[in-house]
């Protein structure tokens, strides 16, 4: 009688194990994946998503290796069950989140370091857009070009004459999106405590890339902000302020 109970108990355990959808082996042949759909649907919604994501990730990674000239991978490993796939994908997601957190922390540290390094340069020189507009160039009554002409104002906030400045001026809309940007290299001397105006221009008719320069030309100053990102300030006495190499963009 006791032996019969033990045998019956073992049989029940085997039936439960077989009935557990997590023990279902995932076919290596992608064309056969539909056969495990009934077992997949027995998992919790979260487990279903994890298992499906695992299958897609592993299969796609394997196929992509072959597309780019390498040897196609094996895809789903032999004997991989739905339960193992769920745990593998859960571990993959956790590791990816951890890596994203590390990258976000590093990015924040680098940005903070860059802003700290840039502070003395920004304090040394203030740059703004004084005026802007479109200048039409004509020859014999024919329009030959159209230029965006911008007057930039530079204010020397230091007690020393500035020989030149280098940096980037970004004109942004009310939502912080860049409208137009200008790489600035200006060697006009700016006396200590004074300001100068420097004029720059570029073609809007024959622009090499798509730009919003025409939009900027007619935009009211209340609709944009100017962001000055300095790289170097050189003084007449030979001294300079520059961004450290690890703080440069």
Please give the helix or strand (H or E) that residue 21 lies within, else none.
none
Under DSSP, is residue 138 helix (H, G, I), strand (E, B) or coil? strand
pLDDT of residue 62: 77
pLDDT of residue 152: 96
Under DSSP, is residue 154 helix (H, G, I), strand (E, B) or coil? strand
Say if 205 falls within a structural domain: yes
pTM of the model: 0.63
Say if 106 falls within a structural domain: no
Considering 20, 49, 80, which residue would you say is the last residue of a domain?
80
- Within this chain, do residues 161 and 235 fall inside the same structural domain, yes or no? yes
CB 112 within 8 A of CB 126: no
Beta strand 195-203 pairing with 142-156: antiparallel
Say if 215 falls within a structural domain: yes
pLDDT of residue 211: 73
CB 231 within 8 A of CB 118: no
Encode burial over 107-142: b for 16+ CB neighbours within 10 A, e otherwise. eeeeeeebeebbeebbebbebebeebebeeeeeeee
pLDDT of residue 65: 64
Say if 236 falls within a structural domain: yes
CA 169 to CA 118: how far, in whole Å?
A: 14
What tokens does 129 get? Answer: 């857009």
What tokens does 232 get? Answer: 């170097």
Per-residue HEC secondary structure of 55-120 comes to HHHHHHHHHHHHHCCCCCCCCCCCCCEHHHHHHHHHHHHHHHHHHHHHHHHHHHHHHHHHHHHHHH
pLDDT along the chain (249 residues), means of 10: 46 52 92 92 95 92 67 82 96 97 95 91 95 91 90 97 96 94 94 95 79 89 95 96 72
- Within this chain, do residues 74 and 130 fall inside the same structural domain, yes or no? no
- Within this chain, do residues 131 and 61 fall inside the same structural domain, yes or no? no
- Within this chain, do residues 69 and 141 fall inside the same structural domain, yes or no? no
Phi, psi of 115 (to 5 degrees): -65, -40
Strands (E), the chain: 125-139, 142-156, 162-173, 178-186, 195-203, 224-235, 240-242
Say if 151 falls within a structural domain: yes
């Amino acid at each position: 009688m006791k032996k019969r109970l033990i045998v019956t108990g073992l049989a029940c355990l085997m039936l439960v194990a077989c009935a557990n959808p997590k023990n279902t082996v995932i076919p290596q042949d992608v064309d056969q994946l539909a056969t495990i759909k009934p077992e997949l649907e027995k998992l919790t919604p979260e487990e279903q998503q994890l298992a499906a994501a695992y299958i897609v990730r592993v299969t796609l990674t394997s196929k992509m290796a072959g597309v780019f000239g390498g040897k196609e991978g094996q895809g789903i490993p032999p004997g991989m069950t739905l339960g193992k796939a769920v745990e593998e994908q859960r571990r993959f997601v956790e590791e990816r989140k951890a890596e994203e957190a590390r990258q976000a922390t590093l990015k924040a540290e680098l940005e903070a370091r860059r802003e700290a390094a840039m502070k003395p340069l920004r304090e040394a020189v203030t740059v703004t857009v004084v005026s802007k507009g479109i200048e039409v160039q004509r020859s014999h009554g024919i329009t030959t070009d159209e230029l965006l002409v911008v007057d930039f104002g530079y204010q020397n906030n230091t007690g020393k004459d500035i020989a030149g400045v280098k940096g980037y001026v970004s004109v942004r809309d009310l939502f912080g999106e860049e409208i137009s940007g200008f790489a600035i290299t200006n060697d006009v001397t700016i006396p200590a405590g004074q300001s100068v105006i420097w004029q720059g221009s570029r073609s809007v008719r024959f622009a090499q890339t798509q730009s919003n320069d025409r939009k900027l030309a007619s935009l009211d100053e209340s609709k944009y902000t100017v962001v000055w990102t300095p790289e170097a300030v050189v003084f007449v006495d030979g001294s300079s302020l520059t961004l450290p190499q690890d703080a440069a963009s």
